[in-house]
Structure 1
Amino acid sequence: MRLVYLALGWVCGIVLAANNPFLSSSLSLAWLILSGLALACIWLLRDRWRRFTFALLAMTMGGLRMSLAPTGSEIARFNNQGGVTVVGAVSSAPELRESGARFRVSVSALIRDGEHYPIRGEVLVLTTARSSLKPGDQVRATGLLQRPGEFDRFSWNDHLARSGVFSVMRDASIDLLAKGQEVSLQTLLYDLNQRAGRRIAAWLPAPQSALLKGILLGDESGLSPELREDFNATGAAHVIAISGFNMIVLGGTVVSLLRRARLAPFAMAIFAILTIMFYAILVGADAPVMRAALMSCLLITAGALRRRVFTPASLAFAVIVLSIGNPGVLWDIGFQLSAIATLGIMLLVDPLGAGLQRLLYALFPASAGRVAQALLAESLAVSLAAYLATLPLILRHFGRLSLLALPVNLLIVPAQAPLLIMGLLATLTALLAPLPAQLLYWLGLLPLSWTIEVVRAAALLPMASAEVQMDPRLVTATYLGLLLAALIAVQRHSVVQRLSRVLASHAGGVTALLLAAGLALLLVATRLGRPDDLLHLWLLDVGHANAILLQGPAGEHILIDGGSSPSRLMTAIGDRLPFHDRRLELLAVTVPDPGTLESLQALLQRYDLGLLLHNGQRELPPALVQAADTVITPVAGNILQLGKGLEIDVLHPQSRPLPDERQTSSYALVLRVRFGSVSFLLPGTLDREGQQQMLASSTVAPATVLQLPLHGAARSLEADLLLYTKAQLTLLHSDPDDLRNRHGNPDAEVLNLLGNTPLLRSDRTVSVHLWSDGVKLWRDQWPQEQAGN
């Protein structure tokens, strides 16, 4: 237990030095003197006081270590001094986001006003382009260096300073000077991570593939903002984050599976630790991941040794070791959550597990209760212990209390163990032999879909989360009490409960039953995904952009444009296509918008393309062209005939634009989809000039449904278009909160032109989904907007 007192002293010294600048670097000698005095006291005082003098020594050494931590860098003196150019090597894996990419650059030179400065330092670069850079690439970044900044509840300055970054370059212009030639462990891990991510995206639909990439690879870039917010609001974000929770669930599951083989506890622990380390390497083995892996291994080792005293002592040792290299890690939220979750599991998992066992026995019949207790009790106890222990910290940092966190976690936590195991096995198999991995991915699709749908359903409920402010002093008092309870309990209980004997005796049968049920559900899902002889149309939620998905009566899928958010597009399509369907029969690019083209290229990771239509204004990306079976530049009058009576008329452009034609919305591709007596006119981003050309050509015919062009922008709708189409219903793609909606579309005058024609808006309805049998037209029963509203 001396390690616990040493860790307490060490942490107190670091915090004292950090909060009192006069005790920092200028007085490093004073810390050394105090350390010498404390060391002398250890030998002079009696044995019973030595633990306190050891703590005093650790406190002085912690203060000395903090006093030596850097508080700035050479390059920081150029912050807020105008535009500069930095040259250096990419030192971190690019983190892809909706708005672009961010990565760190290890700077070797800086250029300002034509002068070159040899300089060292780390810069965090933010760019609006979704970069394909890799660690080790030599780049030149141009922009304005700035201090990171402060936010309401978060200091970005302090957060980045703890990792040695004191400068940020936003909206940087990036030039690649040379690809990294040196093969390092970082580049090997990055390549492995990217290969695994491509396999997952290819074999699973979105958003399931995005969730699995977040859980297995730490890559959350594929998650749409809406889905990520749903996980945050329902207290389930720990499932996505690479944390001690996922590590402990994975290790515990491996131990449970191996226990049936009657291996020695220590051998099982070794195998579980190796699995956790492989998982950590697959994720990328960065500092937060390795911290979570280290603490998870400590818990598993404690269980193998059956010594509860090992857990707090080893946790204390981990805190000291991790903060020696970087004392600022003590303020890292991820580190705090991992450490406190580990402490909470050590202290609370036994009483919670016993209570859950009694509850499950009460809820289920005798035999079913034993099976339920064996399958659920331990994983739920671990999740609840971690959640309850970290709740005060979550409230302190994020100010949000998820009112549904407990029921949501009770529903999704049992699915995480099979999800992790099948996901890891499938990804490892896909890296070695891709084809056999498909079945494993499909089995993993079940717990992935369950997790997503539970979280989405819970997020729709009122009061899913509430704003709560918690006094930092109350947080401190809570954790001091938790630490005191841990010290008192450490002598009396074992660290990990033994798994139920019921699970040990029936594990084979239960596993076979679960696999059979999973295969049955896959067969049912496949049957439900078959064509229903109806035409379906969805306005996809991709922000303030055009994206329409159609499913024909024969089951063909047609995508028109796609917006500029790859993650939202992949999620929207994955939600609607059958999980086994990996083909888009027709893709129409109405205008060659760069953001749309980038999103469409992301589809190629999973979907094959049949026919590709575009208006011919400029060359499409080679990857998109090569992926399609056929590429056509149609003109007005062309008709495409698909299965079971579905036809698509091309109404515009009237002729192929010249190769050097100025790119405008006047040449946008306009399609009219016909099925029986029901038709949809989809002008997309066609401006009034193009509408006038289309009307003059007499190609416009009546349509049941009309999409408002250009998101209903001011002066975007030709009044005669409404007169000729005689539409019974209008559709509007809009998102007032999107940064691209600079003019506040839709325009009130355009809406007034509609009169009493019903309007369905993507920003005012939960879902815009229409379907028809060729005679009648149905829509989701969500609120509709009258035209004038």
Structure 2
Amino acid sequence: MVVGGLPVHNRPALLLAVAFALGILAAEWVRPHPVLCAAILVPLAALAAGRRGGALLLAAIALAGAARWSYVQTAGRGNLDAWTDRRVTLVGTVVSEPALQEDGRVTYIVAAEAAQGQPARGRVRVAQRGGTAPAYGERVAATGVLTPPAPARRPGGFDEAAYLARQSVYLVMESGPAERMGPGRVDWFRRVAVATRLRLEAVLQQALPEREAALMAGLLFGSRGHLPEDVADAFRGAGVFHLLAVSGGNVAMVVMPLLWLLYRAGLGRRAAAALAVPAVVFFIFLTGASPSVLRAGLMAVLVLAGDILGRERDALNTLGAAAALLLMGVPGLLFDLGFQLSVAATLGILLLAGPIRGWLEPRLARALPGKPPSWLSAGLAATLAAQALVEPLSLHAFGLFSPVGPLANLAVIPYVGLLVPFGLATVLLGLFAPPAVWLLGVAGRGALVGLVYMVKALASVPLAQVDVGRLPPGWALGWYAALAWAALPEARRIPAALWARLRACRRAVRAGGALAGALALLAAAGAALSWRLALAAPPDALELVVLDVGQGDAILVKAPGDHAALVDAGPAYEFGTGGGRFDAGAAVVVPHLRRIGVRRLDLFVLTHPDVDHVGGAGSVLRALPVGQVLVSTPRAEEVHHVSALETARALGVPVRVPQEGEVLRLGEEVFLEVLGPPSPPITGSRSDDNANCVALRVVYRQVAFLLACDLEAVAEERLVERGRLLRADVLKVSHHGSRFSTGDRFLEAVRPRYAVISAGAGNPFGHPHADVLDRLSRAGAEIWRTDRHGTVTVRTDGFQVRVEGSRGRPPGAPGRPLLPWSGRLIGVW
């Protein structure tokens, strides 16, 4: 096979990396025990060695990748699982730099040495509240309960468990002030590297104002902890956020001047390379050893090692070797987006930059005189080549496309290429000659202000960033297949080879007789039909999603035909002293809507003015077009409710109070029956706002959902006495499971098969109340809770109902079928 014009067999490291990565992916899907992998690996490796079969050897390498990842997920986790859900005193070394969170906690990772005085092995993410934060490399004793990290709160949301697992962390601890016990078990090389970076950042803070110092720290070291949000948003909007992640350009910024100085000092190629290797390793640890700098730094080390050994350079093989070594050491990197983007960008430049430049340069030369066509085509080719392979990953992760990205990179990268070496030189000089820092303060400040102005101007261009929705994995694979077809001659030969195989099969069928051919065709047609039906979700499915927004409500009704209604938007609140702000609309609701492709809301229902229901409403209204807003009352004093209504009116969105008994349509077959607010309104109850909330019964064909907002018992009794049709397959339990709601008579009228409770974990109200859980159980309802099961998604075709939780399911609930809607597979046969 040929890649980039050269045979792949000349790049064994590239094949090794691909095979090893495929093995890790397979192990993540199948989750085998490492002993099983080893049992298969040994005979397969022996067979490959005996026959010298390339395919068998690659299979053995893939199996080795599966064994490595399986080991990391099981035996490689250490022995801390024995203390799960127990309060322990953990002694260990801080192996990550402490980070201040919005809620005032300081988080860091501890490599355990002992737990409760007994030897322990493993890594724990500690969240410390109060006291002085320990330093990197310091030994600490922290006391708290060891628990598994939380999985994603909603489908496609941030998965803390997976994120920490990539760092070999499988337990977390909430701790008070930790006892600091002096230096820990960290090698001096890493300790010095981290201390040096902290000292360099201190020099930056002395020389520059806070905003400019944070930006320069991001450009030099990839530090983004103190970067102003408006600057970060501008870099994202212009498509140049990657400049704030240390990668190949930063490594080259260190290696090239160093090699030049060593050559000027009279050293030969091998001696200079030998001295440059420790400098690169030091720079990797100095910048925090992120996946992108690990990849770039290891590639540089391998190139320098080749110079020492006198080997010929090959960039593709070097990339493969770097990726393979990193995955062998830390297989979880394969699932890290930073690692994926770094490898994809480098591969794109190596494979496609040359052909793109060859196509661009003559065309630009006809339009522009002199040298501009040469450097312009080189810059555009590198940007477009990297973006060609990076874009599917970025669209899959974020769903945002930046049309101005290539031009923004062309303008910003040369500017940064001049600014960064100047900044690094002056900050290094400032370590030894502090008065020299004034140069950075004078010239650097103006250059950084100019950079921010340039990036914000690019980000403000109309349609600079377009929300196109997250790219499904199948589309991403199709993108790469089309790219391979266009760029790699060998890929274009694959269809011909497949056609030749099909012709051979046809000849074999003819030789076996017409009956065999007919049976084969019948089996193929049946398989194709059944798999098509099994893999494709029905186009007429309705989804009701109860989002995990903590102690609050946010419910999405996604109807067939791209119609959608949102009922409430979750809470908004300030953290304690020194903390930040949480807005469920911006943090949870809007990202989920974008992830599943909701671009417009037909209806936005604010059931009542309480902050746990309307806190995130303003963010939703500003993010998506809304057809109309329904409220329980247009008059309320709650600040978030007032702000949401003002935002709606400013955007020209109609706001009205629905009438009891009114029926609203959401598409062709979905009806929303308004059960409240009652007319006349209820007065003198425990909470008139709750009693008069907007309650809805959603009906789709033969399936009904009852969204009971925060109805109080008096409102429930009123509905029963008036003879309202309340029967529903799914009940969104009122008022988060409060004991003052969900009475026996109400449940007898509803008779739910499933009950979904939206409540925050450890909330101070004791929701859901034990009495409510008991009443629901006696009514025969299967109970789903957002505090335990995460975001709860109910899917129905109008006849059958299936419920899933992003973080698990209740005991005894039926498991997920092998494939989505796989009942149809059996029906076909």
- TM-score category by the smaller chain? 0.5 to 0.7
Distance between the aligned counterparts of 1:184 and 1:120, measured in 2?
21
Out of 64, 67, 75, the residue aligned to residue 67 of structure 2 is 64
Counterpart contact for 1:94–1:101, Cα < 8 Å:
yes
**What residue number does 2:334 align with?**
330
Matches within 5 A, 1:576-615: 595=578
Out of 12, 18, 34, the residue aligned to residue 44 of structure 2 is 34
Distance between the aligned counterparts of 2:283 and 2:346, measured in 1?
18
Which amino acid in structure 2 is aligned with residue 310 of structure 1? D
**What residue number does 1:21 align with?**
31
**What residue number does 2:134 align with?**
133
Counterpart contact for 2:139–2:184, Cα < 8 Å:
no
Shift in alpha-carbon separation, 1:130–1:240, aligned structure 2, 3 A? farther
Counterpart contact for 2:380–2:406, Cα < 8 Å:
no
**What residue number does 1:311 align with?**
315
Measured against aligned partners, the alpha-carbon deviations of 1:289-332 in whole angstroms (never above 9, x if no partner) come to 32231235668999999999822222222222222222222222
Which stretch shifts more, 231-240 or 128-137?
Answer: 128-137
Which amino acid in structure 1 is aligned with residue 17 of structure 2? A
Counterpart contact for 2:113–2:120, Cα < 8 Å:
yes
Which amino acid in structure 1 is aligned with residue 20 of structure 2? W
How big is the shift at 1:340? 1.4
Residue 116 (structure 2) pairs with residue 106 (structure 1): no
Counterpart contact for 2:204–2:217, Cα < 8 Å:
yes
**What residue number does 2:206 align with?**
202
**What residue number does 2:120 align with?**
119
**What residue number does 1:385 align with?**
385
Residue 22 (structure 2) pairs with residue 12 (structure 1): yes
Residue 54 (structure 2) pairs with residue 51 (structure 1): yes
Out of 268, 282, 287, the residue aligned to residue 286 of structure 2 is 282
Counterpart contact for 2:353–2:382, Cα < 8 Å:
yes
**What residue number does 2:235 align with?**
231
Distance between the aligned counterparts of 2:151 and 2:210, measured in 1?
35
Counterpart contact for 1:244–1:341, Cα < 8 Å:
no
Distance between the aligned counterparts of 1:386 and 1:130, measured in 2?
45
How big is the shift at 1:392? 0.7
How big is the shift at 1:473? 2.5
Distance between the aligned counterparts of 1:272 and 1:398, measured in 2?
38
SS at match of 1:120: coil
Which amino acid in structure 2 is aligned with residue 7 of structure 1? A
How big is the shift at 1:469? 1.8
Counterpart contact for 1:251–1:276, Cα < 8 Å:
yes
Which amino acid in structure 1 is aligned with residue 351 of structure 2? L
Distance between the aligned counterparts of 2:123 and 2:397, measured in 1?
26
Shift in alpha-carbon separation, 1:219–1:476, aligned structure 2, 3 A? same
Out of 286, 292, 298, the residue aligned to residue 294 of structure 1 is 298
Matches within 5 A, 1:616-655: none
Q: Number of aligned residue pairs: give it.
A: 495
Counterpart contact for 2:89–2:143, Cα < 8 Å:
yes
**CA RMSD after TM alignment:** 4.6
The percent of aligned pairs where both chains have the same amino acid is 29
Shift in alpha-carbon separation, 1:241–1:286, aligned structure 2, 3 A? closer
Shift in alpha-carbon separation, 1:351–1:297, aligned structure 2, 3 A? farther
Measured against aligned partners, the alpha-carbon deviations of 1:325-352 in whole angstroms (never above 9, x if no partner) come to 2222222222212211111110122234
Measured against aligned partners, the alpha-carbon deviations of 1:453-490 in whole angstroms (never above 9, x if no partner) come to 22223444454331422121232344456568777599
Out of 88, 91, 100, the residue aligned to residue 87 of structure 1 is 91
Measured against aligned partners, the alpha-carbon deviations of 1:19-76 in whole angstroms (never above 9, x if no partner) come to 223464344212212221222221xxxxxxx433432332333333334324344323
How big is the shift at 1:162? 2.8
Distance between the aligned counterparts of 2:469 and 2:266, measured in 1?
48
**What residue number does 2:698 align with?**
none
Measured against aligned partners, the alpha-carbon deviations of 1:208-230 in whole angstroms (never above 9, x if no partner) come to 21111112122211102332233
Shift in alpha-carbon separation, 1:121–1:4, aligned structure 2, 3 A? closer
SS at match of 1:103: strand
Distance between the aligned counterparts of 2:59 and 2:276, measured in 1?
37
Residue 429 (structure 2) pairs with residue 429 (structure 1): yes
How big is the shift at 1:389? 1.8
Distance between the aligned counterparts of 2:353 and 2:311, measured in 1?
15
Which amino acid in structure 2 is aligned with residue 331 of structure 1? F
Which stretch shifts more, 97-106 or 280-289?
Answer: 280-289
Out of 159, 162, 186, the residue aligned to residue 163 of structure 2 is 159
How big is the shift at 1:98? 4.2
Distance between the aligned counterparts of 1:489 and 1:61, measured in 2?
28
Which stretch shifts more, 466-475 or 255-264?
Answer: 255-264
Which amino acid in structure 2 is aligned with residue 138 of structure 1? R
Matches within 5 A, 1:365-376: 366-367=369-370, 370=371, 372=372
**What residue number does 2:756 align with?**
none
How big is the shift at 1:167? 1.0
Distance between the aligned counterparts of 2:405 and 2:166, measured in 1?
31
Counterpart contact for 1:253–1:417, Cα < 8 Å:
no
Counterpart contact for 1:302–1:311, Cα < 8 Å:
no
**What residue number does 1:452 align with?**
452
Residue 155 (structure 2) pairs with residue 150 (structure 1): no
Shift in alpha-carbon separation, 1:434–1:331, aligned structure 2, 3 A? same
Distance between the aligned counterparts of 1:461 and 1:33, measured in 2?
60
Distance between the aligned counterparts of 1:169 and 1:123, measured in 2?
7
Which amino acid in structure 1 is aligned with residue 112 of structure 2? V
Structure 1, gaps ≥5 residues long = 43-49, 491-563, 566-592, 597-734, 738-746, 752-760, 765-789
Distance between the aligned counterparts of 2:479 and 2:268, measured in 1?
38
Counterpart contact for 1:140–1:176, Cα < 8 Å:
yes
Counterpart contact for 2:352–2:487, Cα < 8 Å:
no
**What residue number does 1:211 align with?**
215
SS at match of 1:179: strand
Counterpart contact for 2:37–2:64, Cα < 8 Å:
no
Distance between the aligned counterparts of 2:390 and 2:291, measured in 1?
20
Matches within 5 A, 1:348-747: 348-354=352-358, 357-358=361-362, 361=365, 366-367=369-370, 370=371, 372=372, 377-440=377-440, 442-463=442-463, 464-479=465-480, 595=578
Counterpart contact for 2:397–2:470, Cα < 8 Å:
no
Shift in alpha-carbon separation, 1:375–1:200, aligned structure 2, 3 A? farther
Distance between the aligned counterparts of 1:233 and 1:386, measured in 2?
18
Counterpart contact for 1:13–1:63, Cα < 8 Å:
yes
TM-score normalized by structure 2?
Answer: 0.52
Counterpart contact for 1:32–1:61, Cα < 8 Å:
no
Counterpart contact for 1:299–1:342, Cα < 8 Å:
no
Which amino acid in structure 2 is aligned with residue 174 of structure 1? P
Counterpart contact for 1:238–1:245, Cα < 8 Å:
no
Out of 174, 177, 201, the residue aligned to residue 177 of structure 2 is 174
Counterpart contact for 1:140–1:177, Cα < 8 Å:
yes
SS at match of 2:122: strand
SS at match of 1:436: helix
Which amino acid in structure 2 is aligned with residue 229 of structure 1? D
Shift in alpha-carbon separation, 1:4–1:285, aligned structure 2, 3 A? closer
TM-score normalized by structure 1?
Answer: 0.54
SS at match of 1:163: coil
Shift in alpha-carbon separation, 1:175–1:256, aligned structure 2, 3 A? closer
Counterpart contact for 1:104–1:122, Cα < 8 Å:
yes
Shift in alpha-carbon separation, 1:101–1:292, aligned structure 2, 3 A? farther
Counterpart contact for 1:3–1:313, Cα < 8 Å:
yes
How big is the shift at 1:257? 11
How big is the shift at 1:82? 5.8
